[in-house]
């Protein structure tokens, strides 16, 4: 009924009056929200553009005007991943255009291993790793949610050592060896703190999906306020061999032999080179030139061989590179993850580098020096000692000079959530930033920002076996192509190839993720 209708009649029914008031309220409601103007605008635009899908055009137009999605709740439940390991499935419930929608992501709950990249923080929320190996027993103790007392053997002493040359003839011998520094007590963990990292990661991934942007773009936008004109993609470091405590042979020391290509090489080239090298090593092993034990695939997706001595493993890599004419030692280098913290026999006060073969910390320094001199392609040692063996870190750095970098992984604790950072071992070239299960993405970004590195140069994704791992390598190729098409892919040799390096792992079974920054 019109306004004139009300004026011309002296009496108006209550129903008509309510209807008139309702119409006025509706008109005011739509007018205050600009609905008529927006509808008129989109109808005019659509008339001139004449799209084939009229209602799709309208849906896209009004979707851009909808409110920002809001998280309504977060739920989680215990599940199992592809390897049968315990994982947690986290679901983020969001109100999107007045409807509740769910975004699910399976993320490993225990040992959330994750590293960030300065230029490629895109990988920060995509990958996690659950390492469940015997050579990581100490790390398992540190992952407990409650504080536990140190084991009785944590403070051993060494028996006096006799001078074998001089015997007991009264000549001056070695005397008593230094007492082995005890292992530090485990970090306190607040009950329920393991949920922090899981929730932070799934929220970051959900935000990226809602924004319709790749994850690396979203996280980069959190760190950098303005668009970057150039982004350097880290070169993938490939774990090509594993001869640690989990292997069938006697050798324990070489947890990972890692291929570290030149930073000027393209991702596709590096991946192709790693695949060729992996096949060539298998061919050489099948030729029975090496007395190797059973051959398999490690949890890290690398070739796992049972060797007796470290020279056998390094000779294999050297021979395979020579057969393929790969420039090992110049554009192609090696990094060794020693994981020494898992080799300490506290009852003896020595490292069990091979089954039945124990080395004191000082003897281990000599062993590393000999290997580096014999194999100059080794340019990095990761965790060559426990972090408590301060004197040996110092001595090793002195004997190897600038030829090899010392990297602290388990020996570092740069971003604990509930306590102050502890000092690093002396002469450490780089450190590994882990995404612990009680850290948020913001914590990790802040930890990296506090480092003085010049940018990530390398990215470690583990070995090249398994569909989930190869998905990561394929994703890295896709990102490289995307940045190249946009004209923002950094080119040229990075001046400080070891200033930082990043290693990440997928939310499925993946590899360690690290960021190493020059100190």
Q: What is the DSSP letter of 392?
A: H
Report residues of the chain scoring pLDDT below 50. 1, 3, 108-176, 418, 454, 493-519
Residue among 88, 131, 85, 136 at smallest CA distance from 109: 88
What pLDDT does residue 104 have?
A: 64
Write down the pTM of the prediction.
0.73
> Residue 493's pLDDT is what?
46
Q: Would you state the pLDDT for residue 141?
A: 40
Was domain 232-491+512-518 assigned CATH 3.20.20.120?
yes
Given this model, what pLDDT does residue 39 score?
A: 94
Number of CB atoms found within 10 A of residue 282's CB: 14
75 exposed, middle or buried (CB, 10 Å; 0-12, 13-18, 19+)? exposed
Q: At what angle do helices 215-223 and 194-211 cross, to 10 degrees?
A: 110
What's the sign of the alpha-carbon dihedral 115, 116, 117, 122? positive
Q: What residues have CB less than 8 Å from 152, skipping those under 6 apart? A: none
Phi/psi at 488 (5° precision): -120, 10
Q: What is the pLDDT of residue 379?
A: 93
Instruction: Give per-residue pLDDT as tens, 130-154.
Output: 333 333 443 444 343 332 333 333 3
Instruction: Report whether 109 contacts 85 (CB < 8 A).
Output: no
Helices (H), 162-301: 194-211, 215-223, 267-286
Kindly list the distances between the CA atom of residue 460 and the CA atoms of 287, 291, 421, in Å, as whole numbers in the listed order: 30, 29, 25
Q: What is the pLDDT of residue 452?
A: 53
Give the pLDDT confidence score for residue 105 in this predicted structure. Answer: 61
Tokens at 495, concatenated: 């001046």
Q: Quick check: 277 and 240 in contact, CB under 8 A?
A: yes
């Amino acid at each position: 009924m019109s306004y004139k209708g009300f004026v011309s009649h002296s009496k108006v029914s209550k129903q008509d009056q309510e209807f008139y008031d309702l119409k006025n309220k509706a008109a005011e409601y739509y007018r205050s929200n600009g609905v008529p103007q927006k509808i008129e605008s989109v109808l005019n635009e659509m008339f001139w553009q004449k799209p084939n899908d009229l209602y799709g055009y309208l849906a896209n137009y009004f979707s851009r005007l909808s409110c920002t999605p809001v998280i309504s709740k977060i739920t989680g439940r215990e599940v199992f991943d592809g390897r049968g390991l315990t994982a947690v499935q986290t679901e983020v419930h969001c109100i999107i255009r007045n409807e509740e929608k769910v975004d699910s992501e399976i993320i490993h709950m225990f040992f959330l291993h994750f590293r960030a990249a300065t230029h490629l923080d895109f990988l920060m929320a995509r990958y996690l790793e659950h390492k469940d190996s015997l050579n990581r027993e100490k790390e398992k103790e540190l992952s407990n949610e409650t504080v536990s007392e140190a084991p009785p053997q944590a403070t051993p002493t060494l028996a006096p050592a006799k001078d074998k040359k001089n015997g007991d003839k009264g000549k001056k011998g070695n005397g008593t060896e230094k007492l082995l520094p005890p292992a530090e007590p485990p970090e306190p963990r607040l009950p329920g703190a393991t949920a922090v990292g899981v929730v932070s990661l799934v929220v970051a991934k959900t935000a990226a999906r809602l924004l319709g942007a790749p994850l690396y773009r979203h996280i980069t936008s959190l760190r950098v306020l303005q668009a970057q004109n150039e982004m350097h993609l880290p070169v993938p470091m490939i774990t090509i061999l594993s001869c640690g405590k989990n292997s069938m042979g006697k050798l324990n020391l070489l947890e990972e032999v890692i291929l570290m290509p030149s930073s000027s090489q393209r991702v596709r080239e590096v991946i192709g080179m790693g695949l060729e090298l992996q096949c060539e090593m298998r061919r050489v092993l099948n030729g029975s030139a090496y007395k190797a034990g059973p051959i398999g695939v490690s949890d890290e997706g690398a070739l796992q061989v049972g060797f007796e001595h470290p020279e056998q493993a390094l000779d294999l890599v050297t021979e395979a590179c020579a057969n393929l004419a790969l420039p090992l030692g110049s554009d192609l280098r090696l990094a060794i993850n020693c994981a020494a913290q898992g080799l300490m026999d506290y009852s003896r006060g020595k490292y069990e580098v091979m089954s039945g073969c124990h080395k004191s910390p000082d003897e281990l320094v000599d062993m590393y020096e000999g290997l580096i001199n014999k194999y100059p392609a080794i340019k990095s040692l990761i965790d060559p000692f426990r972090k408590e063996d301060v004197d040996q870190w110092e001595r090793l750095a002195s004997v190897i000079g600038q030829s090899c970098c010392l990297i602290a992984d388990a020996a570092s604790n740069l971003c604990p959530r509930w306590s102050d950072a502890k000092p690093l071992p002396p002469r450490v070239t780089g450190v590994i930033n882990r995404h612990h299960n009680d850290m948020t993405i913001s914590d990790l970004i802040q930890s990296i920002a506090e480092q003085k590195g010049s940018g990530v140069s390398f990215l470690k994704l583990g070995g090249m076996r398994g569909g989930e791992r190869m998905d990561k390598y394929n994703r890295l190729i896709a990102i490289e192509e995307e940045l190249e098409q946009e004209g923002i892919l950094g080119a040229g040799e990075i001046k400080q190839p070891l200033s930082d390096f990043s290693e990440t792992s997928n939310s499925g079974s993946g590899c360690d993720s690290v960021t190493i920054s020059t100190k």
